[in-house]
Amino acid sequence: MKTTLKIAALSAALFPAFAFAQAGDGPTDAQLQSFRVAITQVGCTIADDATAASVQAATGFSETLLESIVQQLRVYNEIVDASAEGGITLTSGECAL
């Protein structure tokens, strides 16, 4: 899953409008909020497979939907790269820097 999130993060960073357009209508506000809650509960950062699996289990979302959510939150400037090795960090709400 880490690889999937890293690829989604890279794609969204390079081509945010294109990446979001490919997702159709995109995630709902409720889905975005569910993801925000789940990532906050794991410490605001997804930097390994175990944490990614925890977020996926907490939300029940498919990898495709999670990719779409990450892309949309990048457009909203709520997601940043966690490190050069990969991963993402939420920067809004309780995770605001």
* Digit-coded pLDDT (tens) for 54-87: 999 999 999 999 999 999 999 999 999 998 888 9
Q: What is the pLDDT of residues 34-57, one digit of tens each?
A: 999 999 999 999 999 999 999 999
pTM: 0.74
Cβ atoms of 69 and 92 closer than 8 Å: no
Sheet holding 79-81, edge to edge: 45-46, 88-90, 79-81
